[in-house]
Amino acid sequence: MKAALMPTGWIDLSQALGTIVADAGVTELARQARVMRAIGSPFVADVLAAADRHLHHAPLTWAIMADWPGDPAAAALAMRLNAALHALARRDTPASLGALYRSEHDDVDGAVRAALVAHDDVVAAWLREAPQTNEVGRTAAILAALTEVMRQAALPVELIELGASAGLNLNLAHYRYDLGGVAFGPAESAVRIAPAWRGAAPSADHAVTVVAAEGVDLQPLDAHDPATCERLMAYVFADQPARSARLGEALAIARRHPPRLMRADATAWLAERLVQPQPAGRWRVIFHSMMAQYVGTAQRALLDQVIARAGERAASACPLARIAFEWNADRSAVELCVTTWPGGATRVLATCHPYGAWIEWHARPTMFSEA
């Protein structure tokens, strides 16, 4: 397996993925293999394509894929299967799969087939469990959006993350960033995040001060648990070792600075959290990244209502913001959006690589004054 660097150029996701998304004639594994190739992960693309060809050798896994009750793309079913194979490879089980991932041979079909035959039950179990990812590369976009919030009112921030996983993104103030040539965060941090950037860079005058951070997840993960850390590592694409190394450093920071995590339904918990008094002179910022796709339409609408009601109570001394890093409606692009209250104006700030490798910034320096 040859390591692929995260792409430093820009991919027109709408152009690259539009025909893939629209093509109903391909299986989910084949579709996702094309997506992986489009966003710069060719080894994962090869693994998924091989899994698609040999899925009939794994009847348990095949049945789950065939009978999935909802949208398999929204549920990231292909990514669950890919993570299962990566986890098996990391354990050298079977040996041919581990050897493939170490680039000791290039028989992708043979190794993937052997894994599906020998470990159908393991792969099926991974498909039944929701994805467990915590991509800290996305914090660059979240931080950039926070600098725009600071442009409206330079106040300290309390962060609330929905779908927080292990809470690694809640620790965004502990990471070092290069956003279009402008540095943010502690220079000594071992986590370095420098997405390729196009557009106006954020101003260093709009630094972000985080005074509180907490998150909610149905199944929050513990960075101190080796099995949890291994599961998170399996969800990182095998041909992107820089992401794996960065995840390891972020987990180490989380062990030194444990994020505050709640186990609960996000909508119900947030409704209670947002009625708690907000200190004057502080932003309350709700954010989520690649979380909305796992929430049903009705639940998303309810979540929107909960946040909108809180927005109605917002005041200039106690402002509210929502930052979303999510696929757009037709899943052709990942958009970074911010909504601020009082007022409730929503802006699309940027188009982003799904894992934060690049950011195409759209926001104008005067965007809030024009609202």
CA 41 to chain centroid, in Å, comes to 16
pLDDT in the model for residue 1: 61
Secondary structure class of 145 (helix, strand, coil): helix
pLDDT in the model for residue 55: 97
User: Domain spans of the chain?
Assistant: 13-128, 136-220+259-370
Instruction: Report the chain's mean pLDDT, rounded to a whole number.
Output: 91
pTM here?
Answer: 0.88
Report residue 31: phi and psi, to 5°: -60, -45
CA 127, CA 172: separation in Å to the nearest integer?
30
CA 160, CA 215: separation in Å to the nearest integer?
5
CA 295, CA 314: separation in Å to the nearest integer?
26
**Under a CB-based contact definition with an 8 Å cutoff, are residues 50 and 112 in contact?**
yes
80: left (phi over 0), alpha (psi -120 to 50) or beta: alpha
pLDDT in the model for residue 348: 95
pLDDT in the model for residue 371: 33
**Under a CB-based contact definition with an 8 Å cutoff, are residues 251 and 99 in contact?**
no
Which distant-in-sequence residues (6+ apart) come within 8 Å of 212 by Cβ? 158, 159
Residues in the chain with pLDDT < 70?
Answer: 1-25, 364-371
What distances in angstroms separate CA 181 from CA 98, 177, 184, 226, 274, one per listed residue? Answer: 39, 9, 10, 36, 36
Report which DSSP code applies to 169.
G
